Amino acid sequence: MRTRLFQYEYKAAGLVDIGSVRRSNQDEVILAPDQGLFAVSDGMGGLEDGGAASQYVKQALPMVAESGIGEMEKADPGQAAVRLNGLVQLISDRLYAQGNSPGYFRFGATVAGVLLHGTKAVFVCLGDSRGYLLPKYKKNPVQITEDMNIAGILVRLGEMTKEQAKDSPASSRLTAFVGMQSPAKPATYVVDVKPGDRILLCSDGLYGMVPEREMAQLMRSSKSQERICKNLIDAANAYGGRDNISAVCIRVM
């Protein structure tokens, strides 16, 4: 694949699975290869219409990004990050206006995405879905996004390890999400990418089940990005599959 925004060719795929326990799927993957834009969105199961929120993200994100693709072409990666942040904020604020209020939340979802721009990967996050970068010669993936939940705050303060956070009730207490009280505050991260690097976007149904070292091995398990997504999902289900599982895998060529 090639996009006019990104210097390198790349391969990408995405896959969603219901998991081994849940009776419905509220995860979505967003694939817009012509724009070099990819994302995962995880509907908040504790809300009335969490699944509808992730579907809204899937429909809205490529649409609003397409409307601004001309500006993205003229922007440097830092400026593109500002614009991408604004697009996610716009989507969240619109969702909030559709049915949420300060005392009542009907809709909610996470989003973790990446825009391939120049020689950079511009990550965006709102919630606790994650974006990883696996450099060509590294054994472990680097978590680029920060978890927007109570457990993530405790990990960053050094009061909890990432392993402890996986099983902590604090990991389900989001501090920000798509549909939060306006104005939303997404976070963006601009990182260098090189040929041979790999990118993974995933919901907590994947990273909450599979150890990161094993995720890295699976990210290199095939030349096919579709097969890698399937291998990652199979691993999450083998560990119990307690939640819906979504994965987007990208290899920079």
On whether the CB atoms of residues 171 and 151 are closer than 8 A, the answer is yes
pLDDT in the model for residue 182? 94
Q: Quick check: 155 pLDDT over 90?
A: no
Kindly report, residue by residue over 233-252, the tens digit of the pLDDT: 999 999 999 999 999 999 99
Number of domains present in the structure of the chain: 1
Kindly report, residue by residue over 69-88, the tens digit of the pLDDT: 778 878 899 999 999 999 99
42 inside domain: yes
Taking residues 139-150, what's their average pLDDT? 95
pLDDT band at 104 (very low <50, low <70, confident <90, very high): confident
| Distance, CA of 105 to chain centre | 22
4 inside domain: no
On whether the CB atoms of residues 47 and 109 are closer than 8 A, the answer is no
116 inside domain: yes
Give the whole-angstrom CA distance, residue 238 versus residue 202: 17
The enclosing domain of 29 has a CATH number of: 3.60.40.10
pLDDT band at 46 (very low <50, low <70, confident <90, very high): low
20 inside domain: yes
